[in-house]
């Protein structure tokens, strides 16, 4: 396949893994990334054009669409710090909703009508039932989730008005790193559990605080559905193929269907790394539901997609390979 695609946020965590896979599959790729959180070094091939810019820059977009004749857009670019979205909602509505609205408008103008969007289980809010399927009510409890849900609504309305075809991929907890540890999770600042536990194990931070031990779960700590980043990349490839082949719009959860507790993640890190993790047991973090687990059967049915990393050990082992090698370089300077 040699279709030309635009990937916004392609220098970010999930974007860069997807770009790598699409490039291996022969797609012509332009990455548009403002590099606020993205890493240019996560684009592993010179054949991929990296353009530094904003998703809301219509003049830049028009030039890119005219030059590269994109057949589809994969839209990853977003801010994703839930806590910050509560204290600074404007930043999130601007970046995650208003700017992508400009992108959708240019897509319609340039008749590029295939849109694959990184949505999130945060659009569901507190689960009413679990596992969560795509028909679960969407009642987000923070501006991050709201901004993602609202962009889904915009794209849905663009389908009705302009025949835009979309796939919304609602990720559960993205995790892990590339199988060869070339790229991986590298958020600055880091707020996610698995990298923080590794940093505690490696002495980069003094400890990991477990947010709450009195949840109604078997060990009292929160349960999440950790989905490997390369599995997410594969789901994007399948979604792209679907739309290029003329398939219908689709909304899919992406998870393994298995939940693991915070304590299980910490145990897996200790097992895989052979290091001891200094743990502090703390208060609950506001807005954390006890358990978030996907029902991902629609992705299997519609995209022929299933997670290949299914155990907490396999996901954590992949993250460990990356952290252990990255640590020798950049992390060493942080000590
Ligand atoms: N968590 C924790 N300590 C931390 C960070 C996270 O106990 O320092 C817990 C958090 O309460 C949640 C799980 O780990 O239950 C995953 O959190 P993360 O921030 O990685 O992802 P989220 O589920 O919030 O998207």
Q: Closest Cα partner for 81 from 167, 12, 139, 32?
A: 12
How far does residue 93's CA lie from ligand 1's centre (Å)? 23
pTM equals 0.97
DSSP structural state of residue 173? E
Same fold, 4-174+228-254 and 193-224+257-334: no
Say if ligand 1 is within 6 A of residue 90 CB.
no
- Is residue 144 part of the annotated active site? The answer reads yes
| Distance from residue 122's CA to the centre of ligand 1 (Å) | 13
Domain boundaries, the chain: 4-174+228-254, 193-224+257-334
> Which residues face 120 on adjacent strands?
171
What does the alpha-carbon distance between residue 295 and residue 283 come to, in Å, rounded to a whole number?
Answer: 29
Question: What gap in Å lies between CA 205 and CA 227, rounded to an integer?
Answer: 25
Give the pLDDT score at 334. Answer: 43
262 C-beta closer than 6 A to ligand 1? yes
The answer to whether residue 328 scores a pLDDT higher than 80 is: no
Q: How many residues does the chain have?
A: 335
Return the ligand 1 atom nearest residue 196 CA: 8
Inter-CA distances, 46 with 29, 49, 55, Å: 11, 7, 22
3-state secondary structure 85-148: HHHCHHHHHHHHHHHHHHHHHHHHHCCCCEEEEEEEHHHCECCCCCCECCCCCCECCCHHHHHH
pLDDT surpassing 60 at residue 333: no
Summarised one tens digit per residue, pLDDT across range 221-244 is 999 999 999 999 999 999 999 999
Structure tokens at 275: 């290091």
Domain 4-174+228-254 matching CATH 3.40.50.720: the answer reads yes
**For residues 215 and 221, what is the distance between their CA atoms, to the nearest angstrom?**
6
Contact 117, 60 (CB under 8 A): no
- Name the pLDDT band for 335 (thresholds 50, 70, 90): very low
79, 144, 215, 309: the catalytic one is: 144
pLDDT of residue 327: 60
Task: Kindly state the percentage of the chain with pLDDT values over 70.
Answer: 97
Report the CATH number of the 193-224+257-334 domain. Answer: 3.90.25.10
What pLDDT score does 9 carry?
98
**333 C-alpha to ligand 1 centroid (Å):** 25
224 pocket-lining for ligand 1 (C-beta < 6 Å): yes
**Closest to 44 measured CA to CA, from 70, 66, 65, 24:** 24
């Amino acid at each position: 396949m040699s279709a030309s695609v635009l990937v916004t946020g392609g220098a970010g965590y999930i974007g860069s893994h997807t770009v790598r896979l699409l490039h291996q599959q022969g797609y012509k790729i332009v990455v548009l990334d403002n590099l606020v959180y993205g890493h240019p070094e996560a684009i592993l091939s010179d054949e991929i054009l990296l353009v530094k810019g904003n998703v809301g820059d219509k003049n830049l977009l028009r030039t890119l669409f005219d030059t590269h004749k994109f057949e589809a857009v994969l839209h990853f670019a977003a801010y994703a710090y839930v806590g910050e979205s509560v204290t600074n909602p404007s930043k999130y509505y601007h970046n995650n909703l208003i700017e992508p609205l400009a992108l959708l408008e240019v897509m319609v103008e340039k008749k590029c009508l295939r849109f694959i969007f990184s949505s999130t289980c945060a659009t569901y809010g507190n689960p009413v039932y679990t596992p969560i399927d795509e028909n679960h009510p969407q009642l987000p409890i923070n501006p991050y989730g709201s901004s993602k849900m609202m962009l889904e609504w915009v794209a849905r309305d663009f389908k009705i008005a302009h025949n835009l075809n979309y796939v919304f991929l609602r990720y559960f907890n993205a995790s892990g790193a590339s199988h060869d540890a070339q790229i991986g999770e590298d958020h600055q600042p880091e707020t996610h559990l698995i990298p923080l536990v590794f940093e505690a194990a490696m002495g980069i931070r003094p400890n990991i605080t477990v947010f709450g031990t009195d949840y109604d779960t078997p060990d009292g700590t929160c349960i999440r559905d950790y989905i490997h980043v390369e599995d997410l990349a594969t789901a994007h490839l399948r979604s792209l193929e679907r739309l290029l082949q003329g398939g219908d719009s689709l909304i899919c959860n992406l998870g393994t269907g298995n939940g693991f507790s915070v304590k299980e993640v910490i145990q897996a890190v200790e097992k895989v790394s052979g290091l001891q993790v200094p743990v502090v047991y703390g208060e609950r973090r506001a807005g954390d539901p006890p358990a978030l687990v996907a029902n991902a059967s629609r992705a299997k049915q519609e995209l022929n997609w299933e997670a290949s990393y299914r155990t907490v050990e396999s996901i954590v082992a992949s993250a460990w390979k990356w952290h252990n090698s990255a640590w020798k370089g950049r992390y060493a300077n942080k000590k």
